[in-house]
Amino acid sequence: MNDDRKKPPPSGRETTIAAILDAAEELFAGRGYDAVSVREIAERAGVSHALVHRYLGSKAEMYRVILESNARAMLAAAPDNPDLLATASLMLRDGLAEHSRYLRLVMHSAVRGVPTGWPAGTFGATERMVELAERAAASTPPVGSADRGLDPRLAVAFMVALVVGWNALGPLLLARTGIDDMDEDAIIDELERVALDILRAHVPGLGEGDQTPD
Please answer whether residues 123 and 163 qualify as being in contact, where contact means their C-beta atoms are separated by less than 8 angstroms.
no
pLDDT at res. 118: 54
Task: Assign domain 13-57 to a CATH class.
Answer: mainly alpha
Mean pLDDT of 111-121: 59
pLDDT for 214? 52
What mean pLDDT is reported for the chain? Answer: 85
Cα–Cα distances in angstroms (integers) from residue 61 to residues 20, 48, 53, 71, 114, in the given order: 12, 17, 10, 15, 11
pTM, 2 dp: 0.81
**What average pLDDT does this structure show over 74-86?**
92
Quick check: 80 and 41 in contact, CB under 8 A?
Answer: no
Is the pLDDT confidence value at 1 over 50? no
pLDDT tens track for 158-211:
999 999 999 999 999 999 999 989 999 999 999 999 999 999 999 988 854 444
Least confident among 62-71, 135-144, 202-211: 202-211
Of residues 48 and 11, more confidently modeled: 48
